[in-house]
Amino acid sequence: MGDVNAATSAGPPVPRRVDVIVVGAGFAGLYAHYKLRQIGLTAFGFEGAPDVGGTWYWNCYPGARCDVESLDYSYSFAPELLTEWKWSERFATQPEILKYANYVADRFDLRRDYQFDTKVIAADFEEAANEWVVKTDRGDTVRCRYFLAAVGGLSVPKAPEIEGIETFNGRWVQTGNWPKEPVDVKGKHVAVIGTGSSGIQCIPLLAQDSAHLTVFQRTPNFSVPAHNGPIDPAYEARVRADYAAHHKRNRMTKGGVPPRINTGVSAMSVSAQERRAKFEEAWNFGTFALQSVFNDTSSNPDSNAAAAAFVHDKIRAAVNDPALAEKLLPTTFPFGTKRLCLDTGYYATFNRDNVDLVDLRETPIERITPAGIQTTAGEYPFDLIVFATGFDAVTGPLFALGLTGIGGISLKDAWAQGPQSYLGLMVSGFPNMFTVNGPSSPSVLANMLQTIEHHVDWIVDCIAHMEMNGLVRIDADHDAQVAWAHEVASMAEQTLYTKADSWYMGANVPGKPRVFLMFIGGLDRYVERVERIVSEGYSGFNFVPAKAGNE
């Protein structure tokens, strides 16, 4: 790689020039390195964590596990990965997934071109050279022809935004940035603020291990039992008999997973009895089946209300105290329009003697005090406060890179009214910069291993196309991007998703523009669309050939 930056750590020397800079060593960044090596380009990566794993490195709170079945939440790009790795449970725990990321990194020697513990703090596109100039918090400067943001959508935890945190005499932690050394809760009085997926996963375990747990709930969420356990050997054998094809089929489904309990009809087209039986079947199966068992739960208010009522009944049945059960019922947004949670014993946890719920709609938090949490009803003393308060999703991690595109415009300014991206792959005015799972792509609405592999394949194929054809610049066409944003928004408007104040809508971060952040039409439709765009000669993208671009 030639000239290098002055050594700033025990990592490899950081080159001054490289073909591609990859930011992030999660599943997207690791795969990007593998693919870029295959087409013979030099790539170098920066990662803020000390090691690989991305979201699975940071989110090591008790109970963290994947909501997608392990057999599906796996890479498919190399046959050896499919045969060598065996998952121990239907839904893998965070430690096991992190082990998997490490195994892949070792298997393909992917760490050697990374500097860890390093954040990209600025990246500026230099028009004359068609190069990005990338700067890190360790003082490195690297020029590259292509910049690949594999930063993950949920990698910037929201700062605890409650007044008085600095006065607290106990300890506080965040689920999205959980300490690596064990957090001892034995004998402790613990508070959890937040009841999204992270809160709902850690609450049952913290309840078991602590002296007392108080859950501070602002908005109750819908949660369905994961039904975790050993993988059914017969099912595993069937999947493994044709594992590569299984992954291929997953890519051509709406959610990137096998459609298992799926009637394909409206919930309102069947009798109440039949509807209940199907909901029951989906509930007993686990996964997100309850959301997809009928085809209009996300769009038809009546079907949606039927699903919500079904879950309400389940909550009432699980929680012994009827008044407490009522507090746990989600009623302020349509079923599934905030990310559905999967849990293990969440609602039953509230039957424990050492667990209390504080309903913040009745008694809001006023401030954190030296002793604990002060609500309008009084002060609660704690040894430990757990913030499970979510992330500045999708745009937050991209803003953190300090990107400036053509004419020196910052990404923050370009997206002041909300993110605009062509296909979630490129942003007009930011040439030669690719985003994995960027805004307006399916991303978290589908199995992320599928969306990651699809995006990385597309990006690296596109780069190979440029290399082969002497093209030095690619940019998303502004009009194509506007049309795509319009299409994505109008699709979302046809659903109930836009009715919720969710992180999907950017509504969890004060001041964030209210824009639905994902393509809701399904991974299958998205993949077909993107393939068609390539077959049309990359319609909606503008290329500049070497002669015109580099003189």
Binding residues for ligand N01 (CB under 6 A): 65-67, 154, 161-162, 175-176, 193-199, 201, 218-219, 339, 360, 388-391, 444, 503, 508
Amino acid identity, position 333: F
Tokens linked to 467: 């290399």
Amino acid identity, position 18: V
For residues 85 and 79, give the distance between their C-alpha atoms in angstroms, rounded to a whole number: 11
| Helix residue ranges, H only, 196-271 | 197-209, 233-241, 243-251
For residues 457 and 337, give the distance between their C-alpha atoms in angstroms, rounded to a whole number: 30
For residues 340 and 311, give the distance between their C-alpha atoms in angstroms, rounded to a whole number: 11
Q: Which residue is nearest to ligand N01 (CB)?
A: 196
Q: Are 219 and 400 in contact (CB under 8 A)?
A: no
Q: Which of 58, 165, 202, 149 is nearest to 394 (CA)?
A: 149
CA distances from 540 to 24, 84, 286, 543 (A): 27, 41, 40, 10
For residues 18 and 386, give the distance between their C-alpha atoms in angstroms, rounded to a whole number: 41
Tokens linked to 103: 């195994």
Q: Are 156 and 299 in contact (CB under 8 A)?
A: no
For residues 313 and 336, give the distance between their C-alpha atoms in angstroms, rounded to a whole number: 16
Q: Which of 16, 13, 18, 15 is nearest to 463 (CA)?
A: 18
Q: Are 386 and 206 in contact (CB under 8 A)?
A: yes
Q: Which of 194, 189, 162, 188 is nearest to 175 (CA)?
A: 194
In sequence order, what are the beta bridge partners of 22? Answer: 45, 148
Tokens linked to 177: 């940035």
For residues 491 and 470, give the distance between their C-alpha atoms in angstroms, rounded to a whole number: 37
Q: Are 479 and 461 in contact (CB under 8 A)?
A: no
DSSP 93: B
Which residues neighbour 416 within 8 Å (Cβ) at sequence distance 6 or greater? 513
Tokens linked to 194: 């937040």
For residues 323 and 314, give the distance between their C-alpha atoms in angstroms, rounded to a whole number: 15
Residue carrying the six token digits 């990374």: 114
Q: Which is nearer to ligand N01, 429 or 522 (CB)?
A: 522
Q: Which is nearer to ligand N01, 55 or 253 (CB)?
A: 55
Which residues neighbour 106 within 8 Å (Cβ) at sequence distance 6 or greater? none
> Under the phi-then-psi rule, with left for phi > 0, alpha for psi from -120 to 50, and beta for the rest, what region is 283?
alpha
Q: How far is the CB of 333 from ligand N01 (least distance, A)?
A: 9
Q: How far is the CB of 64 from ligand N01 (least distance, A)?
A: 6
Q: Which is nearer to ligand N01, 54 or 431 (CB)?
A: 54
For residues 388 and 391, give the distance between their C-alpha atoms in angstroms, rounded to a whole number: 9
DSSP 517: -
Q: How far is the CB of 202 from ligand N01 (least distance, A)?
A: 9
Query: Residue 38: in which H helix or E strand, if any?
Result: helix 27-38
Residue carrying the six token digits 């509807």: 275
> In terms of C-beta density within 10 A (0-12 exposed, 13-18 middle, 19 or more buried), how is residue 355 classed?
buried
